[in-house]
Amino acid sequence: MQKQIAQERTTLVESFLLMGTVVSIRLVGEGSVADMRDSIDRAIHAMRSTEEACSRFDAASSLRDLCRRPGEWVAVPAALFQALSIAREMAELTGGVFDPTVGRALELQGFNRHYLTGDESDSQVPDAGASWHDIELNPDGMQVRLATPMLLDLGAVAKGLAVDLAAHELGSWPGFSIDAGGDVFVAGSDPEGAIWRVGIEHPLAPDSLLAQLELTNMAICTSGNYKRRSAENEAVHHLWDPSQNHSAEGLKSCTVVAPQAVLADVVSTAAFVLGPKRALSFIEEMDLAGVVVHEDMTVQMTKSMGGYIRE
Amino acid sequence: MAASAKLLALCTAAVGAVYAAGYVYTQPSAEASGVSSHGSLGGNPSSSPSPSSSPAPSSSGSAPSSSASASSPTASKVTYRDGTYTGSGSNVYGTLSVKLTIAGGKITSVKITSYNMHYPSSFIYPQIANEVIQMQTYRVYNITGATASSYNFAEAVYYALQKAKA
């Protein structure tokens, strides 16, 4: 029965470079392939728009424009306003261990190169000791005021939001998956008409899997330190702990399952930066499912994660 | 959970808020400031259609980094001509190509048109290659992990952008 359904369906896979990584969309559809392609174009456009608003690496982005105007109320695009609202809330929830004002610190550690043009960014923002408290948000007219000069980094939020916007564009098809360099959203059914299977990468051997999940209409995001390293200093990675002024230590990866990619992304990043003692309990406090891999390869998971693991 | 209620509400409402603020999809070709000959269906104004146009196949990565060091840190003074451009890159592990679209002077999409590269796991982690637990990966279409870098594509994008420069 299922096989017959599957045969009437077409699966289209297209991959793009976006937000410094490879984004692959797999769309399961019935009917016109041209319509399917059009949907993928819309999804990619939504992600590209989010990138144009929120990129720290592109001097022409709305984020960089905002950072050039400290002290002023600035009307910003909706995607940037939403990403900032979520990032600020997470900063408050973690008491500032997660903080979106770490952009300058990351830039100075060599995380400064645009992935398409190769241009190195130098925002030249003075180190004025800014923190998330200095981000003021006014939902009326979506205005933002940065009370202190700072370079924002929305890496933990903007990609998730972009995936959610792309998912919205694909929502009317029988099934799709979006893989944004490790941030995954799956919906409906897979190309064979079954529930999606998503692997969790093994931090020590990226060709193999730590576990397999079965789920749909859910996002799965992993924050890990085992791929992106600073060109300046190999000991430095991109998950920054502002309280220590150093990249976060003690964990290899945190994986979180949530109904929205932006939620999974920001919680997995925050859990990673919170460190080995607090990561798992933090994911549980957020009422989400997750897996935490420690530096010594000890694996912990929330009780709720068991429901997704394929034995 | 009271502590996370606001976060959940913000994340749930984010997509709707972006659309409520007027986000709409516009056809890339419509943005292309009066240039009508380079429709998204295949105008390929200057570059040769063959993806094999990339020189220096064995020097992956060197060309992009040398160009980067020469470029100015401030906003892009480089202007690009609207259209679609291809570029390729390769090293001993394989080859890849991209198709880059410029509309309204901006990069609107970079699509991967071919990718055939395989780094053996022993190359990356020689100490663990033999201990890897084999798992059934049938129907696993997606893998969540630390964000992969798009570094492999730097050379291909560099050549495509060179063609797009006005």
Is A280 found in the same domain as A209? yes
Q: Is residue A2 part of a domain?
A: no
Is A70 found in the same domain as A26? no
Q: Which of A190, A213, A242 is the last residue of a domain?
A: A190
Question: From the CA of A214, how many Å to the nearest CA of chain B?
Answer: 9
B52 CB within 8 Å of a chain A CB: no
Is A83 found in the same domain as A42? no
First to last CA, chain B: 56
Distance from C-alpha of A62 to C-alpha of A39, rounded to nearest angstrom = 26
Contacts of A169 in chain B (CB under 8 A): 25
pLDDT at B142: 85
Q: Is residue A1 part of a domain?
A: no
Q: Is residue A261 part of a domain?
A: yes
Phi, psi of B55 (to 5 degrees): -80, 175
Write out pLDDT tens, residues B135-150: 556 788 888 887 766 7
Q: Which of A152, A178, A208 is the last residue of a domain?
A: A152
Is A288 found in the same domain as A178? no
> Mean of the pLDDT values across residues B41-65?
36
pLDDT at B67: 36
pLDDT at B146: 76
Is A121 found in the same domain as A220? no
Q: Provide the mean pLDDT of chain A.
A: 89
| Beta carbons within 10 angstroms of residue A18's beta carbon | 23
pLDDT at B37: 32
Tell me, what DSSP letter sits at residue B80? B
Q: Which of A173, A190, A207 is the last residue of a domain?
A: A190
Choose among A83, A168, A228: nearest Cβ to B147.
A228
Q: Is residue A16 part of a domain?
A: yes
Going by pLDDT thresholds of 50, 70 and 90, the confidence category of residue B159 is confident
* CATH code: domain of residue A99: 1.10.3980.10
Distance from C-alpha of A280 to C-alpha of A276, rounded to nearest angstrom = 8
> Mean of the pLDDT values across residues A36-60?
93
Question: From the CA of B82, how many Å to the nearest CA of chain A?
Answer: 16
pLDDT at B59: 37
Is A172 found in the same domain as A30? yes
Structural domain that includes position A99: 61-152
Write out pLDDT tens, residues A77-109: 999 999 999 999 999 999 999 999 987 777 777
Contacts of B76 in chain A (CB under 8 A): 59-60, 117, 119
Is A19 found in the same domain as A160? yes
Is A223 found in the same domain as A175? no
Is A202 found in the same domain as A307? yes
Q: Which helix (H) or strand (E) holds B116?
A: strand B106-117
The answer to whether A87 touches A103, Cβ cutoff 8 Å, is no
Is A145 found in the same domain as A159? no
Q: Where are the domains of chain B?
A: 2-164
* CATH code: domain of residue A45: 3.10.520.10
pLDDT at A24: 93
> Mean of the pLDDT values across residues B44-65?
36
pLDDT at A31: 84
First to last CA, chain A: 25
Best mean pLDDT range from A213-222, B23-32, B112-121: A213-222
Write out pLDDT tens, residues A251-284: 999 999 999 999 999 999 999 999 999 999 999 9
Q: Which two tokens stand for residue A195?
A: 């529930």
Going by pLDDT thresholds of 50, 70 and 90, the confidence category of residue B28 is low
Write out pLDDT tens, residues B86-120: 999 887 778 889 999 999 888 889 999 988 777 65
Residue with the bigger pLDDT between B40 and A299: it is: A299
In chain A, the number of structural domains is 3
Is A166 found in the same domain as A40? yes
B20 CB within 8 Å of a chain A CB: yes
Counting residues of chain B whose pLDDT is more than 90, the rounded percentage is 19
Residue in B closest to A15 by C-alpha: B112
Contacts of A24 in chain B (CB under 8 A): 142
Q: Cβ B25–A42 below 8 Å, yes or no?
A: yes
E strands within A149-271? 175-180, 183-188, 196-202, 205-215, 218-224, 240-241, 246-247, 251-258
Is A140 found in the same domain as A13? no
Pick left, alpha or beta for residue B105 (phi over 0 → left; psi -120 to 50 → alpha; otherwise beta): left
